[in-house]
Structure 1
Amino acid sequence: MFGGLGGTEFLVIILIAIFLWGPDKLPKALASLRRFISKARTMASNAAADLSREIGTDIRPEDLNPKTFVRKHILTEEDQEMLTSPLKSTMRDLQDSTKPMQESLTETTREVESTRRSVNRGSLTRKANGSNDTGEAAAEPAAERRERAASFDDVT
């Protein structure tokens, strides 16, 4: 909700503020907090502008990360391209080699979905016709399943 604070944490902070300052002083405290935050932002932007003016380049707060600073101010575009091109080519090769597997999985998923739909339609049709899954017709597939299970046990 607010910078990683959830609803309950925000509610707890509000309740603590009400207990500390009371309902009559709370609006003044919030106004002074707002002014402080505004002044801090103004000071930070002025410091960044001064630093940019002194160095001669445009500096943003994310540029102060050492990795970003080195990448932006020390490496040339050719150096960056030289460092990233092997990774890009490896990524392309990986995507090309996994494309047939992805297509196969997609096709298998479609087949499973169509089979599931046809099985569901068949069971709905049997229920609509009033047939029951008990009796000899249901016993045969169960017997076949037991025979297959027994044959698997023999193999292991």
Structure 2
Amino acid sequence: MFGGLGGTEFLVIILIAIFLWGPDKLPKALANLRRFISKARNMASNAAADLSREIGTDIKPEDLNPKTFVRKHILTEEDQEMLTSPLKSTMRDLQDGTKPLKEGLNDATRDVETTRRSVNRGAITRGTNGSGTNGSTSGDAAEDAPAERTRGRAASFDDVT
């Protein structure tokens, strides 16, 4: 109601008003303030109504932008088409020019995805075919030995050296 004023701020304002106008003139000053606020609100609503009548009933904040106002009320459809047609043709040219690039990127993405899937399938197949110990793909017993020594217990520094 009081726009972020707390109780103490409101009390201070009342005390200042009493000191400035005194207890006998304060009711009249508050009545004058109330009339002023009422007139200001009426002026604002009248201005909005006048603006609504002049511009139209469907006022939007973006319509009050000068560029939008000029575009909406001064330019004809032919003028707008004349201004936007070069931009539209440029956009079409850009879209047509980027189609091969887009298709190439899509093809490259598909190729990478296919390669990734085949590598994953190959790693899964090699890891489960029983070659070497511990499912490794190397088959070298010297490389598999540390894994065998640490099986079932935590690895220590001595196992690595």
Q: Normalised by the shorter chain, which TM-score bucket?
A: 0.5 to 0.7
User: CA–CA distance in 1 between the matches of 2:107 and 2:48?
Assistant: 55
SS across alignment from 1:129:
coil
Q: Structure 2 length normalisation: TM-score?
A: 0.52
SS across alignment from 1:71:
helix
Could you report, residue by residue, the CA deviation over 1:26-71 in whole angstroms, capped at 9, with x for unpaired residues?
xxxxxxxxxxxxxxxxx87764442121x25343221111111111
User: CA–CA distance in 2 between the matches of 1:130 and 1:96?
Assistant: 54
User: CA–CA distance in 2 between the matches of 1:62 and 1:56?
Assistant: 13
| 1:56-71 aligned within 5 A | 57-58=56-57, 59-71=59-71
Unmatched 5+ stretches in structure 2: 9-42, 141-161
Q: Which residue of 2 aligns with 1:118?
A: 118
Cα distance change on mapping 1:47 and 1:114 into 2, 3 Å: farther
Cα distance change on mapping 1:48 and 1:121 into 2, 3 Å: farther
User: CA–CA distance in 2 between the matches of 1:62 and 1:77?
Assistant: 19
| 1:123-134 aligned within 5 A | 123-131=123-131, 132-134=136-138
Unmatched 5+ stretches in structure 1: 1-16, 23-42, 137-156
Cα distance change on mapping 1:114 and 1:75 into 2, 3 Å: same
How much has 1:84 moved relative to structure 2? 0.5
User: CA–CA distance in 1 between the matches of 2:76 and 2:116?
Assistant: 57
Could you report, residue by residue, the CA deviation over 1:74-107 in whole angstroms, capped at 9, with x for unpaired residues?
1111111100100000000110111111111101
Q: Structure 1 length normalisation: TM-score?
A: 0.54
1:62–1:68 contact (8 Å) kept in structure 2:
yes
Q: Which residue of 2 aligns with 1:37?
A: none
1:48–1:61 contact (8 Å) kept in structure 2:
no
1:63–1:69 contact (8 Å) kept in structure 2:
yes
Q: Percent identity?
A: 73
Residue 112 of structure 1 aligns with an amino acid whose one-letter code is V
- Measured on the aligned residues, the alpha-carbon RMSD in Å equals 3.2
